[in-house]
C-alpha cells in the first residue's frame, strides 16, 4: 500500500535556486530553515460561525496541529466553506446544500495540490461537509486522516408534546421542526413552540440523532478513513482533544511508513461495510448518495444498485433516532461505532479483512473495543427488525431506484392517490394549511440534481406532516432528497428525475401509486401504453436561468443513482521533482 509514495512533495516548493521567492513567502508565515526541511501537512476544516456543527472545529484542528508537530511535521491550516441544512432548508438556499459537497472536495484539492503538501487531515462537522471532505481525501490520495467534529448534546423539551416522541424529555432540532406541525394543527401554543425552540439545541456540535452527519461519520470509520471510536464522541467532550492530537500523530506515522493511503482504504469491500453500517443503524438516506460519490473519487464505480444489494441483506440492530430511541451520545457510551461493527462482524455481515488507519485488518483492530450492549446496539441474532433501516425501491415509477427509510415504520405497504406539486414550496403551502387527506401521496417533482438544481431536501414538509399526526397516513414522493432526520413514508431520490424525463414527470393528480417496501417496489397504476402516450404529449422541462454556481452545477451533475457526482473518476496528480541541476 502506498509504496510508490514520494514522502515529500513539498520539496518541489522549497528546494532549488528558483524557489527563493517561495521560501520568502514561507518565511513570512513564520517558517525557518529547520521547518522547511520537514514535511508539510495540510489541516483543512470547515470551521465557521454559521452553524453549531462548524463552530467546534477550531479546537479540533488546533489539537491536530499539536499532534502533527509532535510527529515531526509542519502543520498548515486551511478552511473550506460549509452550508448548514438547518438554516438553508425550506427555501431557495437549500439548492446550495448538495452543491457545497462538491465545493468542499474541490477546495481540498485546490489547497493541497497548489501548495505541494505532503499529507492531509480533514476535519468536518456537517451533513455535506463530511462527504465533501472524504471525497477530497480520496481525490488527492495523500497520507490522510478524517476527523468528525462530533454531535451536540441533546436539549430538554418543556413537558410532553402531542405527536412528538421523546425519551426523558430529550429534545433535538427535530423536536422543534416537528413541533411546527403540531402548532399548525393547534395542539400546542406558540409559547410552547418558542420554549422548545430555545431549549432543543444547547451547544456546539452536529444534530445528535443518526441523521446525515452522524451517519457519514460512521461511514468514515467503516471505510477506515477515521480513527476507530472517534465518531460518536460528543463535540464538547474533552476526549476529542486527545483524539485530535492522536490523529495528527497518526498522519505522520502514515507519511513515514508510506501507507495506507485513502484509496488503499476505499475498496469495494469497505464500501460494502459502510453500507452495512448505515442500514444496520437506520442511518440517513443521503448515504445512498454520498457513498457512490466517495467511491467515484477513488476510481470505483459503486452505484445505487450496489447499495441496494447490501441493504437487502442487513438487519436493523441500532435503536437510534429518528426511527429509534437513542442519540449519538448514547451510542458513544455504549461503545461507539466499533460496537456496531463488532456486532455486524460477529453476525457475518462485515468484511473483516479490510485495512484500517491503525495498520491492522479491521477484524483485528476491533478486538480493542466492546461488542453490542444489547440496548442501543443489539446483537445480530436479536435485531430490532430483520430488515435493515433503509430500502431501495424500483418499479415503473422509479426504474433507476428510489430510497426509503423504514426504521420505525409501522407498515411497509401503502397505496394512495397522487397529488402533484411542481416544487417544494407548493407542497409546503398545502401542508401548512392542512389541505391534504389520509391516503394522499404527495408528489414533489423538479427537485432532482438537475431539476432543482441542487436536489433540495424536504425536511420541513415531512416534519410538518409528522407533527400534524399524519406521518404514516400519507406518503411523500420526490426526485429531491430527504434529511437524515426525516421519518415517515418519505421516498426520495426517485430516478430518473423529472427534469431528465423520468416517469415521475408524467404523473397526474388522481393516479394510484403503490409502495411496497417488503417487495422493494414503487409503481403507478398505469399501463406502459398510457405512460408512452403521456410521454409523447409532455412538454420539455424548462426553468428560468439560474446563473452562478447553480448553472455550473446543472451542467455537470450526474443522476442521483450515480451519487450526483460532477466529474468522472479518480485522477492521479504527478509528483514534480525539483528542477535538475537547480541547486539551493
Return the active site residues. 483
Interatomic CA distance for residues 465 and 459, integer angstroms: 10
Quick count: other Cβ atoms within 10 Å of Cβ 566? 19
Helix runs in 116-211, H state only: 129-140, 173-185, 190-199
Interatomic CA distance for residues 486 and 429, integer angstroms: 19
Interatomic CA distance for residues 291 and 296, integer angstroms: 9
Place of cell 457545497: 100
How far is residue 397 from each of residues 239, 390, 394, 520, 559, measured CA to CA in Å? 48, 19, 7, 12, 16
Helix runs in 315-469, H state only: 328-333, 336-346, 362-365, 424-432, 459-467
Beta strands in 170-260 (DSSP E): 170-171
Per the CB < 8 A criterion, the answer to whether 526 and 414 are in contact is: no
DSSP for residue 122: E
Q: In what order do the strands lie in the sheet with 119-124?
A: 74-79, 40-45, 119-124, 144-148
What does the block give as the cell for 148?
A: 468528525
Per the CB < 8 A criterion, the answer to whether 54 and 46 are in contact is: yes
What are the DSSP calls for 270-293, one per residue? HHHHHHHHHHHTT--TTHHHHHHH
Q: Are strands 40-45 and 119-124 parallel, antiparallel or unpaired?
A: parallel
SS3 147: strand
DSSP for residue 414: E
Give Cα 415 to chain centroid, integer Å.
30
What are the DSSP calls for 501-538, one per residue? T-GGGG--TT-EEEEETTTTEEEES--HHHHHHHHHHP
What does the block give as the cell for 161?
A: 408534546
How long a stretch of residues is the chain? Answer: 584
**Closest listed residue to residue 44, CA positions, set 8, 7, 13, 82:** 82
Interatomic CA distance for residues 200 and 170, integer angstroms: 8
Amino acid at each position: 500500500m502506498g509504496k510508490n509514495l514520494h514522502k515529500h512533495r513539498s520539496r518541489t516548493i522549497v528546494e532549488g535556486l528558483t524557489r527563493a521567492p517561495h521560501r520568502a513567502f514561507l518565511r513570512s508565515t513564520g517558517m525557518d530553515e529547520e521547518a522547511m526541511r520537514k514535511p508539510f501537512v495540510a489541516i483543512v476544516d470547515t470551521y465557521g460561525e454559521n452553524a453549531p456543527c462548524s463552530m467546534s472545529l477550531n479546537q479540533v484542528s488546533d489539537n491536530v496541529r499539536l499532534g502533527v508537530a509532535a510527529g515531526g511535521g509542519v502543520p498548515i491550516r486551511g478552511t473550506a466553506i460549509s452550508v448548514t441544512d438547518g438554516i438553508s432548508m425550506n427555501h431557495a438556499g437549500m439548492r446550495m446544500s448538495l452543491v457545497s459537497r462538491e465545493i468542499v472536495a474541490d477546495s481540498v484539492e485546490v489547497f493541497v495540490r497548489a501548495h505541494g503538501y505532503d499529507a492531509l487531515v480533514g476535519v468536518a462537522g456537517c451533513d455535506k461537509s463530511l462527504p465533501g471532505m472524504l471525497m477530497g481525501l480520496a481525490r488527492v490520495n495523500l497520507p490522510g486522516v478524517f476527523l468528525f467534529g462530533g454531535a451536540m448534546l441533546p436539549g430538554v423539551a418543556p413537558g410532553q408534546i402531542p405527536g412528538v416522541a421523546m425519551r426523558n424529555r430529550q429534545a433535538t432540532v427535530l423536536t422543534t421542526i416537528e413541533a411546527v406541525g403540531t402548532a399548525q394543527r393547534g395542539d400546542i401554543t406558540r409559547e410552547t413552540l418558542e420554549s422548545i425552540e430555545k431549549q432543543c439545541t444547547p451547544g456546539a456540535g452536529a444534530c445528535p440523532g443518526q441523521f446525515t452527519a452522524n451517519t457519514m461519520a460512521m461511514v468514515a470509520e467503516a471505510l477506515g478513513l477515521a480513527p476507530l471510536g472517534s465518531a460518536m464522541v460528543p463535540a464538547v467532550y474533552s476526549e476529542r482533544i486527545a483524539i485530535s492530537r492522536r490523529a495528527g500523530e497518526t498522519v505522520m506515522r502514515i507519511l513515514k511508513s508510506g501507507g495506507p493511503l485513502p484509496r488503499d482504504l476505499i475498496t469495494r469491500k469497505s464500501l460494502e461495510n459502510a453500507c452495512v453500517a448505515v442500514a444496520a443503524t437506520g442511518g440517513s438516506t443521503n448515504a445512498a448518495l454520498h457513498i457512490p460519490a466517495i467511491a467515484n473519487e477513488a476510481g470505483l464505480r459503486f452505484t445505487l444498485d450496489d447499495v441496494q444489494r447490501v441493504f437487502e441483506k442487513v438487519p436493523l440492530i441500532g435503536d437510534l433516532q429518528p426511527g429509534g430511541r437513542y442519540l449519538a451520545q448514547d451510542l458513544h457510551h455504549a461503545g461507539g461505532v466499533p460496537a456496531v461493527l463488532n456486532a455486524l462482524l460477529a453476525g457475518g455481515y462485515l468484511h473483516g479483512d479490510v485495512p484500517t488507519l491503525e495498520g491492522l485488518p479491521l477484524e483485528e483492530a476491533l478486538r480493542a473495543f466492546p461488542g453490542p450492549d444489547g440496548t442501543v446496539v443489539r446483537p445480530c441474532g436479536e435485531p430490532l427488525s430483520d430488515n435493515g433501516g433503509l430500502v431501495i425501491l424500483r418499479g415503473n415509477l422509479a426504474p433507476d431506484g428510489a430510497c426509503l427509510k423504514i426504521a420505525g415504520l409501522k407498515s411497509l405497504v401503502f397505496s394512495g392517490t397522487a397529488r402533484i406539486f411542481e416544487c417544494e414550496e407548493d407542497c409546503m403551502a398545502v401542508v401548512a394549511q392542512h389541505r391534504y387527506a389520509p391516503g394522499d401521496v404527495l408528489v414533489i417533482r423538479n427537485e432532482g440534481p438537475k431539476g432543482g438544481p441542487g436536489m433540495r431536501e424536504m425536511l420541513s414538509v415531512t416534519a410538518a406532516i409528522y407533527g400534524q399526526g399524519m406521518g404514516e397516513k400519507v406518503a411523500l414522493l420526490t426526485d429531491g432528497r430527504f434529511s437524515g432526520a426525516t421519518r415517515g413514508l418519505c421516498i426520495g431520490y426517485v430516478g430518473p428525475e423529472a427534469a431528465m424525463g423520468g416517469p415521475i414527470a408524467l404523473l397526474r393528480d388522481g393516479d394510484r401509486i403503490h409502495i411496497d417496501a417488503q417487495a422493494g417496489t414503487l409503481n403507478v397504476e398505469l399501463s406502459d401504453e398510457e405512460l408512452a402516450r403521456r410521454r409523447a404529449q409532455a412538454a420539455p422541462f424548462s426553468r428560468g436561468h439560474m446563473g452562478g454556481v447553480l448553472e455550473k452545477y446543472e451542467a455537470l451533475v450526474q443522476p442521483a443513482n450515480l451519487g450526483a457526482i460532477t466529474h468522472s473518476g479518480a485522477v492521479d496528480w504527478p509528483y514534480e521533482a525539483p528542477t535538475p541541476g537547480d541547486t539551493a
